[in-house]
Chains A and B, each alone.
Chain A
Amino acid sequence: SQQGEEDPQALSIQEGENATMNCSYKTSINNLQWYRQNSGRGLVHLILIRSNEREKHSGRLRVTLDTSKKSSSLLITASRAADTASYFCATDRSSGNTPLVFGKGTRLSVIA
């Protein structure tokens, strides 16, 4: 069963704008990770945030985590056409050493 659910399912913005994607999950976690997938290609790891962290930055990416609400957000600032891709959140389970469970993803289109 899906642990994470991304929102929105699809997002279309103009180049230069910021893009925000949200992820909700169901059970307690050790960490939450975000991945990017270009059309039909393998997923690429973007960033990991631990359950005891609230915010993390990497370049133009900003991730927040609210464990009380079981939710996370990924912000891409000053988007570029090359950011067009699908973005997935993935979580483990704090109950044990378990594989990642992925959400269904958000399809981001950045229009030049």
Chain B
Amino acid sequence: DADVTQTPRNRITKTGKRIMLECSQTKGHDRMYWYRQDPGLGLRLIYYSFDVKDINKGEISDGYSVSRQAQAKFSLSLESAIPNQTALYFCATSDFRGHGYTFGSGTRLTVV
């Protein structure tokens, strides 16, 4: 099994729908992150969590929310999807030092 598992791998959804992207990790790390990747823009941080009781907004949190259900699980929700949220979404985890993030394989989300 992969260290960081993201589901679904691909998703097409309609404008206005609520959608949840899920992430689970087996690294035993406290820190988890959600990034978004758009062509030519690199990765941008949406939300991050340094432990189960800690949730922090990143650079582009508007339109998104997260839930840290357990040390191993960190979900990202789009409450009302819009087309400009079409992107590749990555979950990552790291130890307390933040050295060497481990990424999931990504969720390709298309909002039509």
Chain A residues within 8 Å of B, Cβ to Cβ? 1-2, 31, 33, 35, 40-45, 48, 88, 90, 92, 97-105
Whether the pair B42, A88 counts as a contact (CB closer than 8 A) is yes
What B residues does A98 contact at CB under 8 A?
Answer: 98
User: Can you list 9 residue pairs at the A/B interface with Cβ under 8 Å?
Assistant: A1-B59, A41-B105, A42-B106, A43-B103, A45-B101, A90-B101, A97-B50, A99-B98, A103-B42
Which residue of B has the minimal Cβ distance to A103? Answer: B42
Chain B residues within 8 Å of A, Cβ to Cβ? 4, 33, 35, 40-45, 48, 50, 58-59, 88, 90, 92, 98-106, 108
What A residues does B101 contact at CB under 8 A?
Answer: 33, 35, 43, 45, 90, 100
Whether the pair B41, A33 counts as a contact (CB closer than 8 A) is no
Greatest chain B CB density within 10 A among A1, A41, A42, A92 is at: A42
What B residues does A103 contact at CB under 8 A?
Answer: 42
Whether the pair B98, A92 counts as a contact (CB closer than 8 A) is yes
